[in-house]
Structure 1
């Protein structure tokens, strides 16, 4: 495939935030791999616990000791090439859809806060000594966001199509999580909860410009959802700090 600057420019214009998010996680994956090569781990640097922790993976005891950036940085780290490819594939195809519906800045805020909410629930209730990383917390937020928009825009065919597909993916993924080891289920559930609440709070500013009527959006629900998200965040922080306070 020939290099096409015009296509890249168009992609950035339409899906700029999604492309930037993808670029960040691919760049970090390359840096972790190079670090692993330089330190004797071959091409397996991204699967090494010490390298993951060094680059900012989620490790609850360190969060409890004040390294709060670990609630955000894991969103951009991945454990192995397959993990990166699967999450990048979903982020590109689902992310650009939601970015088009919400707009660039609202989507960026939504994505980061969804990942944050997933890592917070993992911090509060997940296994204490587990190291985790991946965009899955934020991607489950995308599931929740589409489901929320499906309720807000009941007559928009594209929104309804995406909402139905995301609901099915939620069910399949959560069932899969129940029978799998090494998966941060609390992170996934937290991302889903955050995405639902933020989806109702942010709504779809760009969808409102379409010809389809908005019959289920209202100011009171948006405010209540925003307050609900803040309550969720505060609860996880307080509970997590109290939980780990007994060990430090």
Structure 2
């Protein structure tokens, strides 16, 4: 990897997550429903009926309890050490933010309309998905191929474990993974072999369809 190994965005993301978590605690507690709603957790009726679409973005910065943020922060820090040098600082940040929104969109379309959603794991699954794509596309690189396989295995294992954890938003995780798989073709670093023009166009179309369908279903179900 020829890019600088200083992972500015990974550090920034983790710091921001903890700043937001401290704010949650100071305002009444990270497990307080009113605090979570006030700060931007996803709540499908509010998103659709009150046009609070910004919640799809803000929810990825909120966490419910110390274990929630600790586990996500550790995973982001670990994966970011490898993903950020591959995608570059800005692309990594865009991948993180867009995957977070993408994960929340699938939750909007098919999730429980009476539950609150929060957490960076939607974005985290997107990063893992994008890493898997880069590894697949760069099979001649032992390092990238290995990292891609590891990221995909980690995502699949966690999705399987989600089945047995009723309080976990498996739809958000799956949506983040899908978003990351598609975004990898658009945000890939020029340093490594990437998809061609038509593959990028296909990824763009699929991503647009994903957004339109999930938004439409979310509006129909939650009205």
TM bracket (short chain):
over 0.9
Partner of 2:35: 51
Q: Normalization by structure 1: what TM-score?
A: 0.84
Larger C-alpha radius of gyration, 1 or 2?
1
**More relative contact order, 1 or 2 (CA 8 Å, 6+ apart):** 2
Which of 39, 44, 50 is the aligned partner of 1:60?
44
Alignment root-mean-square deviation, CA: 1.5
Partner of 2:137: 152
C-alpha displacement of 1:175: 1.2
Which of 136, 144, 154 is the aligned partner of 1:169?
154
Retained in 1: the 8 A contact 2:44–2:113? Answer: yes
2:214, 2:168 → 1: CA distance? Answer: 19
Which of 4, 14, 23 is the aligned partner of 2:15?
23
Could you tell me which runs of 5 or more consecutive residues in structure 2 were left unpaired when the two chains were aligned. Answer: none
1:13, 1:54 → 2: CA distance? Answer: 37
Could you tell me which runs of 5 or more consecutive residues in structure 1 were left unpaired when the two chains were aligned. Answer: 1-11, 37-44, 209-213
C-alpha displacement of 1:204: 2.7
Is 1:195 matched up with 2:187? Answer: no
1:226, 1:62 → 2: CA distance? Answer: 29
Is 1:233 matched up with 2:211? Answer: yes
1:185, 1:52 → 2: CA distance? Answer: 20
2:188, 2:111 → 1: CA distance? Answer: 30
C-alpha displacement of 1:13: 7.8
1:232, 1:112 → 2: CA distance? Answer: 16
